[in-house]
Amino acid sequence: MIGRAKSPSVAELTEWLAVETNACRFNFADSNASGQAERAAFWTRRLGYLEATEEVIGWFREDTLTS
């Protein structure tokens, strides 16, 4: 590809976050059921990061709607 890649839109980013969040929840449940505590902890941390990102996007949307 020549030039800069196009940044994803807020809608595309939100959709990606939803898919990743669901994958994290599934992987956490699978790891937890398998007795893999360290792996389950990884998925819990990742889920926290994704949820924090969703919250920031929510703030961004609020700010852009009120501006």
16-50 per-position pLDDT tens digit: 999 999 999 999 999 999 999 999 999 999 999 99
Q: How confident is the model at residue 1 (pLDDT cuts 50, 70, 90)?
A: low
Report d(CA 18, CA 61) in Å as an integer. 16
Report d(CA 51, CA 31) in Å as an integer. 20
What would you measure as the largest C-alpha separation in the chain, in angstroms? 49
Report d(CA 10, CA 25) in Å as an integer. 22
pLDDT at 2 over 80: no
The two structure tokens encoding residue 64 = 């852009």
